[in-house]
Amino acid sequence: MKRLIFFTIIAMIAFTGCNKLDIAKDTPKCIVNKINDFNKDADCDDPNVKEYTFQGGSVYVFDPGTCGADMTSAVFDSDCTGLGQLGGFAGNTTINGENFSSAVFVKTIWAK
């Protein structure tokens, strides 16, 4: 009976996960810390963080998800300097004076 309970618990952990953040090792430490905080504070069920190449470097877009209208996505460089916000009520598409449509998607760093 103890074995059955033990294997049941192991199976539950294996199949449900532990909400562990699976973030690439090459992600800057300060971005990892921001993702950890972002995960704790996320109101939506589908937030994500994506990496882009923009203005000669890597930038990270923290998208809060789709549960609210007119929310903005924060943009940070690899030193965690805030570069601006995308979206929102005004539909902002400009970061550092350049339209973000010129950014090149690299990969999704994290998604809930």
pLDDT tens per residue across span 9-63: 444 444 433 444 567 788 999 999 999 999 998 889 999 999 999 999 999 999 9
17 found inside a domain:
no
Give mean pLDDT, residues 75-97. 96
56 found inside a domain:
yes
Q: How far is CA 79 from CA 33, 37, 75, in A?
A: 12, 16, 11
Residues 61, 106, 34, 17, CA torsion sign: positive
Distance CA 91, CA 43 (A): 20
73 found inside a domain:
yes
Q: Are 51 and 62 in contact (CB under 8 A)?
A: no
10 found inside a domain:
no
pLDDT given for residue 9 in this prediction: 47
pLDDT given for residue 53 in this prediction: 98
pLDDT given for residue 69 in this prediction: 80
Q: How far is CA 63 from CA 9, 79, 87, in A?
A: 34, 18, 10
Q: Which helix (H) or strand (E) covers residue 76, if one does?
A: strand 72-77
74 found inside a domain:
yes
Q: Which helix (H) or strand (E) covers residue 111, if one does?
A: strand 104-111
Give mean pLDDT, residues 60-85. 94
- The boundaries of the domain holding residue 102 are 22-111
Give mean pLDDT, residues 3-12. 46
pLDDT given for residue 31 in this prediction: 97
12 found inside a domain:
no
Number of domain units in the chain: 1
7 found inside a domain:
no
Give mean pLDDT, residues 68-94. 94
